[in-house]
A and B are shown apart, each in its own frame.
Chain A
Amino acid sequence: MTADPLLEVKNLRLSVRTDEGVAQILDHVELTVARGQILGVVGESGCGKSTLARAVLGIFPKAARIESGEIRFEGQDLLALSDADMTRLVRGRRIGFIPQDPYLALNPVFKIGAQLLAAMRWHAAQPTSEAARRAELVALLRRVQLPEPEAVLERYPHQFSGGQRQRLLIAGALAARPALLIADEPTTALDVTTQLEILKLLQALTQEFGVSMVFVTHDFGVVAELCDVTTVMYAGQTVETGPTGAVLAAPRHPYTQALIACHPDRAAALIGIPGQVPSPLAPPPGCRFAPRCPTAADVCRRRRSRLVADAPAHGVNCRLADERLAARQAGVGA
């Protein structure tokens, strides 16, 4: 990638104080989103993918502490901005959010029009007239294929199905013309036929509006459908990132290999991954997958988490990748 990435997360370490001790939620997490790109963040529950997505929005759990790292967005370190500046300049305006549960994101007692128009007024770059905003919203609602968009403004959230509510929120997130959309499992609650429609819509809209997207999900199938690039997380670490086709067809990290081998489409025998995900209260040192990894060595327990270039545009966080890189460099040197 030659051009400046739109979003770059570097070495992000985040811990949360709990009653039982300090939980190391994110450990040296790295993430890069190019302009116009759809990036999938995949992982099992508790791997920190939602925490990462929220960190980009500047929404942190209570008692959270950023131990190190930066989140660069449009050339600016978001971690250096005050919460007031995040609200005023970034959140909702430059970075839009599509939540998992559209029903919780809409206020049941206000009409759709009132809710979405208020958000547009708040996020508008220049003052605009109410009529102009209304016309723009109606056009957006039409674009997300909601029938009778003018009438939609006068309805309440309960009058829409799950898929329609998700369309409403997509329109709402796009209304401020953000540069980046963050979607946290937005299709998990939907049926497969509805899910496909929403994914196709998101794909078309990101192109049309020139928006990049970070799509958080646990579903490799959704990633395959939608994302250009995929980042896999495990226990708070980024373990692999690369072109989606390459990650799915030829995963290079032992965890990704084991996880994809669990998919019913792929598995020869359903084996699962032996062992348990470590507790963030007492994560193993070095590579957090090492205790379950068939290829673990002593080095793994000392190795600092980092993505190493292992194939074209493909980074892998593993000592095996270190060794492959060293071998390549030795080959070039000889």
Chain B
Amino acid sequence: MRCGDFRESYSEDMAIFDSRLPRVLLGLLLALLAALPAFATTYWLDVLNRIFIAIIAATGLNIVTGFTGLISLGTAAFLAVGGYTTAALAGKAGLPFFVVVPLSGAVAALVGLVFGIPSLRLKGLYLAVATLAAHYVVEFTVTHWDSMTGGVNGISVPAARAGGLALGDDRHIYYLILVLLVGLLFFAKNLFRTKVGKAFVAIRDHDISAEVMGVNVFRYKLLAFAVSSFYIGVAGSLLAYQARIISPENFPITVAIDYLGMVIIGGLGSILGSIYGAIFITLLPELLRLGNDALAAHWPAAMGLFSQFKSIVFGLVVVLFLMFEPDGMAARWHHVKNYWKLYPFSY
């Protein structure tokens, strides 16, 4: 029985896992996830894939918004850049999966770098609106560059291919996404134990102080945008592989707002928060829809009613969450964990 935190060195304080139990639990979780496709129906596999993709993109957004404090409404745009790059590289150039995905991320990172430039002068809401401009510019490009993007009709993406194998099946995609997810989360978690990550946090907490302390604000803000956009671009690429067709309708501004919701509800500046938020926001409409459909199966007139109910419930959950747990789900999880960790001697 543990009864408190006894950290005696900096390395202990920096450790991701402070005891063996979380390691074991994490291993178990991974094993469970690896075994899941054997049981899940196609629909649930599809939902899981979308959750994983959402986690990657939400982590990306959290890097720039949660850790560096730059509010971004450009998530949908960077997803689109990743997705369309994938359509071009995999479809037109015929490159394999493990080449296409990082390249898509890199292109998104480049675009993110460009759209991050206003952050040098703009702050807070003004910056948020500048990233909103980025969204509309990307949307405009995507709908008008017909030869590359297929315009409003969208463009289809071939099945993922690696080492001569076609991996178009949902199950295959699931494993590909899972591997990338674990890798990217591991990288993000460690990023904030390095100098770069700490610089990000310093900028969020007070950019002028950070500059005084010798952090090159200019460089690190752009770097935050680039890293964040890389994650989001990878997510966009996976989205393209999973959906097999993408069109501008996949990337409306509401997507950017949903992602902002994920990181805020999950917990700003917390990797775990991105995970919880992504799961929650992706799953909520699915569950509501399932409830809706079940009701509609017995009472068809309910179909129309429930779709509005969906919007109301979504809004209510967001509002109530912010009111009662403003620090996000990750913070709540932390409280619960600590309570039980020290139970019954929680003082």
Q: Do A and B bind each other?
A: no
